[in-house]
Amino acid sequence: MVDIDRGGKLTWHGPQQLVGYPLVKLPIPIDVVGFVRDLERTLIEVCTAVGVATVPVEGRSGVWVAPEGEEPRKVCAIGMRVSKRATMHGFALNCANGLSWAENVIPCGIDDAGVTSLSREAGHRIAVADVIDIAADAMSELVAHRTSARVS
């Protein structure tokens, strides 16, 4: 384990998990929560593009699978820190990784919800290679949008 200074508690990174750290200099006025919500929306679009319906969950960061009548399951963790307007850390999207690691830890400090992967939810393998170009394009759009000059 490595102790770091970002939001959340414990995050696991491993094979077949897409980890992205969008390094962005946020414009003034700084809106960290707004950036995290935009990052969530962007990652929801990425999941939709590969056929997995996801949603935000009120009061919790990250991207979730939440079918009607079922407990939400986190498919993408987000942990962010900002210093001198610059974002650090980012997201971890479970693609085709195993989930046995979650049996030994409380992911993100959330003990009342499970974790899942794109592959598990889709019912077929969705590898990082299937997602990376979609995610890279989406992150480029997010960064361009969030760093552009704002008109009052």
Q: Which residues are catalytic?
A: 108
β partners of residue 76: 63, 93
The answer to whether 13 and 19 have CB atoms below 8 angstroms apart is yes
Residue count (the chain): 152
Report the half-sphere exposure of 64 (CA within 13 A, side-chain side): 19
Let me know how many helices (H) and strands (E) the chain has, helices first. Answer: 3, 6
Beta strands in the chain (DSSP E): 17-20, 55-57, 60-65, 73-83, 86-94, 114-115
> What are the φ/ψ torsions at residue 18 (nearest 5 degrees)?
-85, 115
CB 108 within 8 A of CB 9: yes
